[in-house]
Amino acid sequence: MDELVERARHGDREAFAALVQLTGDRMYSIAARILRDADLAEDALQGALIAAWKSLPTLRDPARFEAWLRRLLVHACYAEARRRRSWSTNIRVLPVDGPVGPDGLLSIVERDALDRAFARLSIDQRAVFVLHHHLGLALTEIADTLGVPAGTARSRLHYATRALRSAIEADLAPVAPEGRMA
Most confidently modeled range among 90-99, 131-140, 167-176: 131-140
pLDDT of amino acid 88: 46
- Summarised one tens digit per residue, pLDDT across range 22-38 is 998 999 999 998 888 88
pLDDT of amino acid 174: 67
- Please spell the DSSP secondary structure of the chain, one letter per residue: -HHHHHHHHTT-HHHHHHHHHHHHHHHHHHHHHHH--HHHHHHHHHHHHHHHHHHGGG-S-GGGHHHHHHHHHHHHHHHHHHHHTTT-----PPPTT--SS---HHHHHHHHHHHHHHHHS-HHHHHHHIIIIIS---HHHHHHHHTS-HHHHHHHHHHHHHHHHHHHHHHHSPPPPTT---
Percent of the chain surpassing pLDDT 70: 81
Give me the CATH topology for the region 103-173. Arc Repressor Mutant, subunit A (1.10.10)
- Summarised one tens digit per residue, pLDDT across range 66-101 is 989 999 999 999 988 888 764 544 445 545 555 555
- Average pLDDT, integer, range 10-17: 90
Q: How far apart are CA 122 and CA 145, in angstroms?
A: 17
Looking at the chain, the domain(s) classified CATH 1.10.1740.10 span: 1-88
- Average pLDDT, integer, range 11-16: 90
Looking at the chain, the domain(s) classified CATH 1.10.10.10 span: 103-173
Cβ neighbour number for residue 166 with a 10 Å cutoff: 12
Average confidence score pLDDT of the chain: 82
Give me the CATH topology for the region 1-88. Rna Polymerase Sigma Factor; Chain: A (1.10.1740)
Closest CA relative to residue 160, chosen from 177, 146, 174: 146
Top-confidence residue, 86 or 148: 148
pLDDT of amino acid 170: 78
